[in-house]
Amino acid sequence: MYYSENSVVFLNGNFVKAADAKVGLYNQTMHYGNGVFEGIRSYDTPDGTRIFKAKEHFDRLHYSAEKMHIKLKYSSEELEQITYQLLEMNDLKDAYIRPLVYLGDNMSLTPTDEVHLVIMVWEWGKYLGDKMLKVMLSSFQRPNPKSCFVQAKVVGHYTNSILATTEAKQNGFDEALLTDMNGYVAEGPGANFFFEKDGKLVTAPLGNILSGITRATVFEIAKELQIEVEERFFKPEEIETADAAFFCGTAAEVIGIEQFNDYKFPMNWEESNSSFIQRKYKRRVAFNEYQNVYL
Ligand code: PMP
């Protein structure tokens, strides 16, 4: 699914076949989850293959590495350039890009100087699909920001996400929505959350959530469309008074939610401001917003 015998990855300075790449069994990332990564997308645009917000993603990779005491020796510009090369070598235009910084052998709970970088690319449909989602309030909470750096994309943090998504699916839902340590709504396992009420959008403030690059893009688009966005804490109960809601993230893009627990959002999705944002996001990433291509 992710690679074939011809797929090439960038591994520690070299372009190698994915099937030939090796990783040491004693690496700290595998044992303790200390590694950092990114999730990025490129799009086939009228101006060629474009990585959407490459700088923001690679800068966040640096931020995550720094927080975990990991020394990353490539600049954001170098990483972007390597990724373009890698996309070309794999003959990919619309692609998902996964840089992963993992560590060398170390069974102690201390940082290690042996730092590895792998970048993988593959074709990947929208992470949560194209259909409106049924979302469940998770019994799990997002990690307390005093227990880790929640704004860093750290490998180990995703065990929390896996537990939440698994619970939601076992209960017949598509995805989970998690609260923070105070019981306020935080985010999904791999996406930020917004709801819409009377045309206005509401989302959790930074502090207990990942600072999503798609979330920031939603803010930009909303401003252009003169749609108000409020960043504030809210309890799950408030969602059950909302008109519409969506998740957003690089892998999922912008995807509407039809149901939260037993509550069905009353608004026709196509008529919501959320849906305007979804359409504009799609046009923005595909770079054809200014070329009168209507999607
Ligand atoms: N929250 C979490 C927990 C995530 O893993 C992601 C995906 N990176 C997001 C939000 C959305 O972030 P972005 O828009 O930068 O992909």
Mutate which of 40, 210, 215 for ligand 1 pocket (most atoms within 8 A of beta carbon): 210
Closest residue by CA, ligand 1 atom 3 = 190
176 in ligand 1 pocket by Cβ < 6 Å?
no
Q: Give which of 12, 37, 42 is closest to 285, Cα–Cα.
A: 42
Digit-coded pLDDT (tens) for 117-130 = 999 999 998 989 88
Q: Does the Cβ of 39 fall within 6 Å of ligand 1?
A: yes
* Residue-averaged pLDDT of the chain: 96
pLDDT > 70 fraction of the chain, expressed in percent and rounded: 97
- The residue contributing the CA closest to ligand 1 atom 9 is 191
* Among protein residues, the one whose CA lies closest to atom 2 of ligand 1: 190
Pick from 236, 225, 226, 229: nearest CA to 215? 229
214 lines ligand 1 (CB under 6 A): yes
- Dist CA 67 CA 211 (whole Å): 15
Ligand 1 atom with minimal separation from the 250 CA: 16
Please state, as a whole number, how many other Cβ atoms lie within 10 Å of the Cβ of residue 100: 18
| Structure confidence by residue, pLDDT tens digits, 249-266 | 999 999 999 999 999 999
pLDDT band with cut points at 50, 70 and 90 for residue 83: very high
Residue 257: phi and psi, rounded to 5, are -115, 125
Lowest mean pLDDT segment, chosen from 23-32, 122-131, 255-264, 282-291: 282-291
Report which protein residue has its CA nearest ligand 1's atom 7: 190
**By CB neighbour count within 10 A (0-12 exposed, 13-18 middle, 19+ buried), where does 210 fall?**
buried
- For the chain, which domains are there? 8-122 (3.30.470.10), 133-286 (3.20.10.10)
Separation of 210 CA from ligand 1 center, angstroms?
Answer: 6
Is 272 a pocket residue for ligand 1 (Cβ < 6 Å)?
no
- The verdict on whether 153 is a catalytic residue reads yes
191 Cα: distance to centroid of ligand 1 (angstroms): 5
CB–CB of 122/185 below 8 Å?
no
- Which of 53, 131, 153, 235 is the catalytic position? 153
Would the CB of 253 count as within 6 Å of ligand 1? no
Three-point CA angle 82, 88, 94, nearest 5°: 100
218 lines ligand 1 (CB under 6 A): no
Mean predicted confidence (pLDDT) in 169-177: 98
Task: Report which protein residue has its CA nearest ligand 1's atom 4.
Answer: 190
Q: Is the CB of 215 under 6 A from ligand 1?
A: yes
Percent of the chain whose predicted confidence (pLDDT) is above 90: 93
Phi, psi of 181 (to 5 degrees): -70, -10
User: How does pLDDT run across 266-275, given as a tens digit for each residue?
Assistant: 999 999 999 9
pLDDT digits 0-9 by tens, 218-233: 999 999 999 999 999 9
Q: Which 3 state secondary structure label does DSSP give 218? A: helix
Give the Å distances, CA to CA, from 163 to 3, 29, 141, 157, 166.
26, 19, 10, 11, 5
Measured in residues, the chain has a length of 295
What is the residue with the minimal CA distance to atom 10 of ligand 1? 191
Specify the pLDDT at position 290.
57
Q: Which atom in ligand 1 lies closest to the alpha carbon of residue 214? A: 14
Residue pLDDT, tens place only, 205-217: 999 999 999 999 9
Compute the distance between CA of residue 215 and CA of residue 213 in angstroms, rounded to an integer. 5
285 ligand 1 Cβ < 6 A = no
Q: What is the pTM of this model?
A: 0.96
